[in-house]
């Protein structure tokens, strides 16, 4: 039987040129997190399904999760998101820990999706969370970390925007101005989620099916037209909403380094899951790639499922698939087609093999990245092979050099060529490093 060479549907084979791009993105993620004092963590690939049932959205559990019974009849799932895991871990240690707790992770996650641009079944996700920050400071910082990452690739306000909303105010609007009950609220959230993808008539039809009062329907449709924080404040001013905290947030936001990216958007609600404060999505501004690269928000109650006292948290997830699409759309990725080694070590006559391989190994002990060829390479073929490897130096060793116990090292950029004795390992190292 012949087996398929293809990867499982919706997953990727990372050949070296792709893995280098991913590693580059991962290193930028760690750097951005480190600049803000976030510490690395990771959790298990599998969690018990109960953990997701407690707080994740219904769609995730019913349609998207990879769940199965293990050999001991435990009902487990491949992690579809990281927030329940980080909440579980923080629940173990938050009592002894100085606040705020700042953590980040880059786990691989799986969802049973219909594969399409920007959406695969397996992806890696940069997760940052801050727990126990007072007031609205955690929300501001989390937005800063996310922006810092994109800025570190050279992106700016021409490339992306941060669309923002506040779940506390949205919940207030839904219950006090639209006067929707719990079931209606649930359905309205679904409509809000879809509202950018369908036309007015379709929205009208969906809203009619919810069964709101005429005033409620008007209020809901009005809500969808809001375009600024001022709009939002004017809209809720007729009710008894307490806007002190929201005002504090807006003031902090306007004075922060991310203010230039911020735009109010009533359609950002991030489903029905665990958010209780700010919710946001970072959007690509390029017309060819109008999609969210990152989403997150504040959640006050995640630790309660572990019978722990509430500890406010704020976090975001940013996936490697959408990030790469974003970076490619804006031409922000360096050329990582080839790997970067220091020297390509070759020999031109059979008898010189041992000496050539031995010198390569001695150079490695000096920290030089030496890639060898096990078979002799004709002088004129060396350069073509070296080009594929993106090395700065090549070495030659033939019968002639062997007799003199020397090796030729050539700098491919300057075309300069030097001869060294076999024992001059440190001199070769210095030449390569210079």
Q: Is 19 exposed, middle or buried (0-12, 13-18, 19+ CB in 10 A)?
A: middle
The residue within the footprint of a second copy, chosen from 25, 29, 76, 212 (CB under 8 A), is 76
Question: Which range in 91-99, 153-161, 188-196, 315-323 contacts a second copy by CB under 8 A?
Answer: 91-99
Instruction: Considering the complex, state which of residue 72 and residue 287 has its C-beta at the smaller distance from a second copy.
Output: 72
d(CA 294, CA 258): 15
Site string for a second copy, 50-69 (x = CB under 8 A): xx--x-----------x-xx
Q: Is 154 in the site for a second copy (CB under 8 A)?
A: no
Question: Which range in 192-200, 203-211, 261-269, 381-389 contacts a second copy by CB under 8 A?
Answer: 381-389
d(CA 94, CA 130): 12
d(CA 115, CA 59): 17
d(CA 95, CA 171): 30
d(CA 270, CA 353): 62
Long-range CB contacts (< 8 A, 24+ apart) of 58-61?
58/272, 59/271, 60/111
Instruction: Considering the complex, state which of residue 34 and residue 204 has its C-beta at the smaller distance from a second copy.
Output: 34
Q: Is 29 in the site for a second copy (CB under 8 A)?
A: no
Instruction: Considering the complex, state which of residue 286 and residue 306 has its C-beta at the smaller distance from a second copy.
Output: 306
Q: Is 92 in the site for a second copy (CB under 8 A)?
A: yes
Q: Is 78 in the site for a second copy (CB under 8 A)?
A: yes
> How far is C-alpha 140 from the chain's CA centre?
19
Q: How many CB atoms within 10 Å of residue 38?
A: 23
Sites for a second copy among residues 302-361 (CB under 8 A): 305-307, 339, 341, 354, 357-358, 361
The residue within the footprint of a second copy, chosen from 88, 172, 410, 422 (CB under 8 A), is 88
Instruction: Considering the complex, state which of residue 35 and residue 234 has its C-beta at the smaller distance from a second copy.
Output: 35
Question: Which range in 99-107, 212-220, 232-240, 425-433 contacts a second copy by CB under 8 A?
Answer: 99-107
The residue within the footprint of a second copy, chosen from 61, 272, 371, 412 (CB under 8 A), is 371
Sites for a second copy among residues 119-148 (CB under 8 A): 122, 133-135, 137-138, 141, 144, 148
Instruction: Considering the complex, state which of residue 176 and residue 390 has its C-beta at the smaller distance from a second copy.
Output: 390
Closest CA to 297 of 151, 94, 140: 140
CB of 102 to a second copy, least distance (A): 7
Helical packing angle, 214-223 and 200-210, nearest 10°: 140
Question: Which range in 14-22, 219-227, 229-237, 284-292 contacts a second copy by CB under 8 A?
Answer: 14-22
Compute how many residues bind a second copy; rule: CB under 8 A. Answer: 90
Give the angle 154-158-161 at the CA atoms, nearest 5°: 95
Sites for a second copy among residues 190-229 (CB under 8 A): none
Closest CA to 290 of 95, 417, 126, 118: 118
Q: Is 380 in the site for a second copy (CB under 8 A)?
A: no
Instruction: Considering the complex, state which of residue 88 and residue 270 has its C-beta at the smaller distance from a second copy.
Output: 88
Helical packing angle, 320-329 and 16-35, nearest 10°: 100
Strand runs labelled E in 359-416: 370-372, 393-396, 406-411
CB of 86 to a second copy, least distance (A): 10
Q: By the 8 A CB rule, do 64 and 80 touch?
A: yes
CB of 397 to a second copy, least distance (A): 16
């Amino acid at each position: 039987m012949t087996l398929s060479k293809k990867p499982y549907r919706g997953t990727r084979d990372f050949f070296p040129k792709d893995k280098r791009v991913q590693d580059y993105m991962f290193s930028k993620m760690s750097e951005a997190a480190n600049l803000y004092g976030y510490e690395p963590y990771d959790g298990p690939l599998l969690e018990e399904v109960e953990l997701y049932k407690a707080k994740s959205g219904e769609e995730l559990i019913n349609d998207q999760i990879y769940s199965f019974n293990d050999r001991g009849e435990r009902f487990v799932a491949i992690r579809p998101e990281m927030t329940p895991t980080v909440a579980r871990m923080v629940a173990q240690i938050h009592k002894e820990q100085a606040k705020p707790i700042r953590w980040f992770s880059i786990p691989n996650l799986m969802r049973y999706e219909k594969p399409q641009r920007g959406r695969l079944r397996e992806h890696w996700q940069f997760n940052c969370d801050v727990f126990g920050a007072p007031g609205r400071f955690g929300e501001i910082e989390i937005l800063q970390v996310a922006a810092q990452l994109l800025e570190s690739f050279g992106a700016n306000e021409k490339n992306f925007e941060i669309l923002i909303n506040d779940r506390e105010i949205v919940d207030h609007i839904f219950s006090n101005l639209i006067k929707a009950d719990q079931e209606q609220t649930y359905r309205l959230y679904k409509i809000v989620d879809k509202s950018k993808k369908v036309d007015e008539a379709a929205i009208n039809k969906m809203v009619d099916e919810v069964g709101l009062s005429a005033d409620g329907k008007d209020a809901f449709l009005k809500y969808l037209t809001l375009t600024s924080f001022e709009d939002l404040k004017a809209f809720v001013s007729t009710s008894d909403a307490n806007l002190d905290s929201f005002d504090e947030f807006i003031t902090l936001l306007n004075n922060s380094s991310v203010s230039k990216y911020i735009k109010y958007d009533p359609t950002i609600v991030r489903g029905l899951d665990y958010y209780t404060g700010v919710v946001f999505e970072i959007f690509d501004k390029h017309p060819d790639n109008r999609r969210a690269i990152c989403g997150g928000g504040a959640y006050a109650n995640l630790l309660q499922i572990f019978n722990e006292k509430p500890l406010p948290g704020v976090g975001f997830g940013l996936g490697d698939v959408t990030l790469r699409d974003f970076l490619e759309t804006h031409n922000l990725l360096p050329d990582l087609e080839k790997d970067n080694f220091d020297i390509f070590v070759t020999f031109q006559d059979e008898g010189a093999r041992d000496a050539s391989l031995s010198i390569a190994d001695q150079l490695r002990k000096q920290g030089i990245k030496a890639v060898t060829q096990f078979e002799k390479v004709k002088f004129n073929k060396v350069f073509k092979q070296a080009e594929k490897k993106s090395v700065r130096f090549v070495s030659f060793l033939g019968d002639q050099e062997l007799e003199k116990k020397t090796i030729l090292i050539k700098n491919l950029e300057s075309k300069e060529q030097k001869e060294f004795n076999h024992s001059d390992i440190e001199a070769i190292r210095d030449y390569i490093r210079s």
